[in-house]
Amino acid sequence: MFRTRLLGAALVLTLASTANATSFVVTTDTIVRGVAASTDATSDVSSSFRDDKIVRAARDDAASFVASQGDIRGVKLESAFSHIRQQAPNLQASDAQLAQAILAL
């Protein structure tokens, strides 16, 4: 009887640890996919606008925007956002992602 309970407890502990490991893997995969999607959008924007004068002129404003977490929005940055969205209308990137892409140039 004691041996059966001990075996049952060991089985339950094994299953519980497997469930925790699985949920950790799922959570980690979800986070990695989200970061990869953001990075892909940023790299697509930065590679296509590398030589664009309007976008390059907005680097200082983009740095202020990122550092202030979106509170400081300069005129050159707003112009660059408008220009980028006009040139790439299918781009699904937030202002923060665009500002980071401009800084990555």
- Cα Rg for the chain, rounded, in angstroms? 24
Return the structure tokens found at 78. Answer: 């707003």
Q: Express each pLDDT in 25-54 by its tens digit.
A: 555 565 656 555 555 555 555 556 777 788
Does residue 99 surpass a pLDDT of 60? yes
Does residue 19 surpass a pLDDT of 70? no
pTM: 0.54
Q: Express each pLDDT in 50-65 by its tens digit.
A: 777 888 889 999 999 9
Output the average pLDDT for the chain. 74
Spatial neighbors of 63 by CB under 8 A, at least 6 apart, are 103
Side chain identity, residue 51: D
Report whether 93 contacts 41 (CB < 8 A). Answer: yes
Range of the domain at 16: 2-104
Q: How confident is the model at residue 73 (pLDDT cuts 50, 70, 90)?
A: very high
Structurally, the chain folds into a number of domains equal to 1
